[in-house]
Structure 1
Amino acid sequence: MIDIGVNLTNSRFDKDREDVIQQAQSAGIKQLIITGTNVFESQQALDICQQFSSLYCTAGVHPHDADNVGHNYLQELENLAQNDFVKAIGECGLDFNRNFSTPENQQRVFTEQLELAKQLSLPVFLHQRDAFNTWQTILKEQLNHIPGGVSHCFTGDLNELKACLDMGLYIGITGWICDERRGQELFDIAKYIPLERIMVETDAPYLTPRNIRPKPKSSRNEPKYLPFVVRTLAKAMKVDEDELIKHSSKNAMQLFRLAG
């Protein structure tokens, strides 16, 4: 298994980061991709990759941080992306749900990062929440010039899913699908995702699968819980778990150009 989205720079991992990585590997997680959410955390993600084996990362600015980018943030991201551990630009995109940054700055920073991905021939690790039409319009202008991307933590409806697939995107599924309260729609439409387009992720420390038994004492999600996402997703897609693992791993290795 490959967990394509882990927020290992999060402070909730500061006390036991090495143990978390080792436990993930013991649980069959072959490789982890650490998510970069701003320049500082992208540098932190790269630092972690250089300390441990089987780790890679992204470098980018989350829409929440769009208001706070420095004048030279693109150059800083480009410098980080020269390192072989950095496999994608992102997490980038739009989030009109919370608007921690203005929609105008979000769109500007998103577009600039797509241009950077185009320049560097790197795929994109994409975020979208309550901004689908604007997000899609911006993406369509750039995707033909970028070597692919993944809609990280997809939680949209069937129309949005089909639109993402039509754009050639991979679909990243998290523990959201394990939550019968808010993830039922995602469970119901997962069968429409081709095996050639699926990826799995925990988005740890967020979105802890609700189907973990026995229930963990801590609410912190960890990459070692990825098998619970796989189990539920395989059921929703009506495929064998091993088949899902094989395809999701192959897809991740292909998009992010990971070593075998």
Structure 2
Amino acid sequence: MQLIDIGLNLTHDSFDRDRDAVWQRAREAGVARAILTGASRAHSPKALALARTRPGEWFATAGVHPHHASEYTAECDAEMRALHAHPEVVAVGECGLDYFRDFSPRPAQRRAFELQLEIAAETGKPLFLHQRDAQADFLAVMRGFEGRIGPVVVHCFTGTREELFDYLDRDWHIGITGWLCDERRGQHLREIVGNIPAQRLMVETDAPYLLPRTLRPTPKDRRNEPAFLPHIVEELARDRGEEAEVTAAHATATTQLFFRLPA
């Protein structure tokens, strides 16, 4: 399998001690490329800087997660726009709404989301989105940009069957993580992932978060890594009733097209 991890938080400080070794293990496991998540004013430029060290293997997103929406000032907007001038930055985000934790006030979340959607509309770049417990407002904001934005992926999808079909009915893409492997919270995903068309499905680890609970042996530090992406794909394929190689091939082809990655 030749996989692409569409959600890798490689700027996280837990990778500072062994980032090159982490990627070497990923390559040996069959993960050929990765999209490095930029999710804040501080980490988006770091994602770009890392992506430029491995041309053709690492790419970046640039955005501000709803947890950090309060930092989305006019200066921050200018910084995001400058980052998107670089070809290594292949998507706008991670951005969206998160009413589960409300780390930023909801009006600030909606404003930061709208401003980043404006960047996507102006640049034509795909959107890398986050939504948790905010479906009605999330869809309402997105409706305001119908016809102006390009491809959309709802990353780290953990929602309901109804939310899934809300997205699929809009021709959006779905990112599946190791949440699928969590018997406490992910069982419902196993029952609905078979509804995702192959050309709308992508895979990701969201490392260092969301270590698959079915992974054996369990890493002592509980840190998730891109090398564990094949494990997620194998579980996903089983739930979809297809061979892992088929799931992998479709996800990789879909990812290349979505992010407009070079061959």
TM-score (norm 2): 0.97
Report what 1:158 is aligned to.
Answer: 161
The DSSP-based 3-state class of the residue aligned with 1:236 is helix
The DSSP-based 3-state class of the residue aligned with 2:188 is helix
Report what 1:248 is aligned to.
Answer: 251
2:260 paired with 1:257: yes
Q: Which runs of 4+ in 1 moved over 4 A?
A: none
| Distance of 2:129 and 2:142 partners within structure 1 | 10
The DSSP-based 3-state class of the residue aligned with 2:159 is coil
Q: CA deviation at 1:170?
A: 0.4
Report what 2:48 is aligned to.
Answer: 46
- Unaligned runs of at least 5 residues, structure 2: none
Report what 1:237 is aligned to.
Answer: 240
Report what 1:76 is aligned to.
Answer: 79
| Distance of 2:72 and 2:194 partners within structure 1 | 39
RMSD: 0.9
The DSSP-based 3-state class of the residue aligned with 1:45 is helix
In structure 2, do the counterparts of structure 1 residues 119 and 129 end up closer, same or farther at CA, with 3 Å as the change threshold? Answer: same
8 Å Cα contact 1:140-1:167 kept in structure 2: no
8 Å Cα contact 1:195-1:244 kept in structure 2: yes
In structure 2, do the counterparts of structure 1 residues 143 and 122 end up closer, same or farther at CA, with 3 Å as the change threshold? Answer: farther
Report what 2:177 is aligned to.
Answer: 174
| CA deviation map 1:156-190 (0-9, x unaligned) | 01000000101111000000001111100011111
Aligned residues: 260
- Unaligned runs of at least 5 residues, structure 1: none
Identity %: 44
| CA deviation map 1:175-234 (0-9, x unaligned) | 000111110001111111111110000000000011112222220000000011101110
| CA deviation map 1:79-134 (0-9, x unaligned) | 11111110000000000000000000000110110011000110100000000111
| CA deviation map 1:116-157 (0-9, x unaligned) | 100011010000000011101111221422121100000001
| Distance of 1:123 and 1:185 partners within structure 2 | 28
The DSSP-based 3-state class of the residue aligned with 1:154 is coil
| Distance of 2:115 and 2:171 partners within structure 1 | 21
